[in-house]
Structure 1
Amino acid sequence: MILRGHIIRFRRDEGGAALVEMGIIMPLFLLLAFGLIDFGRLGFAYVMAQKATEQAVRAAVVRTPACDGVPAATTRSIGWSLTPYGTACSAGDGLCADPGSVSCTAAQSGATGAEIYARITALLPTNATPANLRFGYDYDGNLGFVGGPYTPRVTVEIVDLDFEFVTPIGALATLMGANADGKVGAAIAFPGMSASLPAEILMDGENT
């Protein structure tokens, strides 16, 4: 009878229940809170990186090409040898020779790439390097004229970049049983982005 009374009192005792409930709910709450923080950082980083590509391409269109192999002048295609100099490339289909596309990263470029990367580095995610900034120079038949400076379409891209979370989302997800390796939320591929403009004048020492 005495033992039965102890059992009944034990079953009705709710002391510490709130602590147990908090221990169950707190990891989920922290996971959500830290997720909001880090995905907020991701959104901010995306907007700033897009601004960085826009600034970079505006600088690239008035500077010496960042990549080797970009022609200095626009030449005529075979079959248009009698076309006078000064004729716009848009005057005939295939009038100007297409030298092909040229691309490189800021890590592979010379002074131009280094200068542009230094200008925008504060806008990029903290783990970005010159290898994540790529320049491209593509022929556009609507730009330039025979015998004039080569005027390609210039593109600047952010490539091969991961976004690193700073809060312990992975560890909290593991605690909640989402993944046993603790790698959930460690890093994700940063969204690729690009900006393009027609070249204005590719020449040394021109500043914007």
Structure 2
Amino acid sequence: MTFSVAGRCAKTGALGAIVTSSSPSVGARCPWVKSDVGAILTQNVTDPRLADIGIGTLEQGYDAESAIRTMKAASDYPEFRQLAVVDRDGRSSVFTGERALGTNGEFYAQDVASIGNLLSDPAIPTAMGQRFLELSDLSLPERLIAAIECGFNMGGELDQERSIGLLVYHPDVSFAFVDLRVDYSDNPLGDLKKLWEIYGPQANDYKTRAIEPELAPAYGVKGDE
């Protein structure tokens, strides 16, 4: 009941993930990113604890495939899990357990990994991954949104999608550059795109305010001079 994309921008080193599901609040459970370390997706009868194990593996200098192996080994029920990893160098890997729900699929290549379960079309992860790779001139958030929109346009999951989350980290700071979530909606993708239209033009300003507040633009609120 979930499909998702993890990706890396080769130009900037930014890492990110986007995920949607018929379940509420998917952004709180499935996408995990750490600056200059990697992006991890854990879904399908989700165990969020596995992401910590995968991130820890990447922090020790191991690659995406090693992180997948470590997460599988740590799980008492790997057959229920679906995992994807993109590491700081863009190496990627995926895993789908034999008890993954319904029609499922996976795709991985340099800088991208995509997975899905209870899909209306098993080709959705491949199409999302390829769409991500085609759009290398766009920013990472825009590429991730476009990639998952491709999945929606192909029919998405069998049930109605209700939630979506977008998470992006830049390599030079430890906090999220983008962390947008729609926890329950009749149109989660449309709502996320509206949020990005509002937040996207301001994202760099918030980063500047954290690092160099004297250079930050005005806040545009009452009392700001």
Q: How does the TM-score come out when normalised to structure 2?
A: 0.20
Larger of the two Rg values belongs to structure: 1
Larger RCO: 1 or 2 (CA < 8 Å, sep 6+): 1
Q: How does the TM-score come out when normalised to structure 1?
A: 0.21
